[in-house]
Amino acid sequence: MAAAQSHQVIADHQEVVGVDYSAQGVTGVVGIGARFERCRFDGLRLQDVAFGSGLEQSQYVGCSFDGVVLTGAGGYSRFVGCTFREAEIYGLTAGYLEIVDCVFTGRIRSTTFWGAPPPGSAEQFASNLAFLQRQGRDEPPGYRALVLRESNEIHGNDFSGADLLGVAFRHGVDLTRQRLPDGSDHLYVLDAEPALHRALALLVNRPADDLHARVERSLRRLLDREVASGQRQLLLREADYVSRGALKPHIRLMFEMLREATSVGSGSGAA
């Protein structure tokens, strides 16, 4: 069994199978090259997780995080067939997180899921390698491939019952391979690049005023920040743009333009 220190579960290169941590008062989980299989973390308040600490990937397979409240770092971690029903996930750092065939309900807030390691990964790798060399330590086996991989595996996940607030999918997360929420304030853009260009074209017939200019800037920002970095589909939510309890006019118009541009395109559903 993984060691418990000050209510933290710490698994350092261990394989943990079938352990129920739900009633143990655990407040943190640290995995270092570890594997958890069919473990239960239900109902816990995990205040600062480090699911994939160290320089190796930790795996969580068939585990249950139902009703959990958690924040912290995904690190180098991979979740397969796990459940997060009625969970509260906030501010999870997920640059190298992989999730496959997992189910999410409850709420996810202020979290970005990355389809590929985020910008700066190569610099981080070089910095860590230099640190190891100063310590007289060798590069860990597999570390180079882990940090410099071309993509994170994210597919088969069910977000349809989750409340996503301030959640982004970037750098090539294939949204056609997830189940997504379809609430009235969500806008799913299947073919983002042509849809954004169609929305820009719709602006031509509007007065060239400040509102027009602000909508154009917002649309081009989506092209430059999301599409240019490899995101082919977008999931946008009006609630993410609310400021002081109101949706600004240019954001409202941007959503109107995008909805019209998307309806002209090839559909608005995700598998």
Q: Give the chain's length.
A: 271
Band the pLDDT of 209: cuts 50, 70, 90. Answer: confident
Residue 267 pLDDT: 44
Band the pLDDT of 20: cuts 50, 70, 90. Answer: very high
Contact 24, 4 (CB under 8 A): yes
Q: What residues contact 44, with CB distance under 8 A and at least 6 apart?
A: 21, 22, 26, 27, 68, 69, 70
* Position with higher pLDDT, 245 vs 57: 57
- pLDDT one-digit tens code per residue, 139-183: 888 999 999 999 999 999 999 999 999 999 999 999 999 999 988
Q: Which of 4-8, 68-72, 140-144 has the lowest mean pLDDT?
A: 4-8
Q: Would you kindly state where each structural domain of the chain is located, as residue ranges?
A: 1-116+151-181, 183-271
Residue 235 pLDDT: 97
From 158, 70, 51, 65, select the one nearest 109 (Cα to Cα). 70
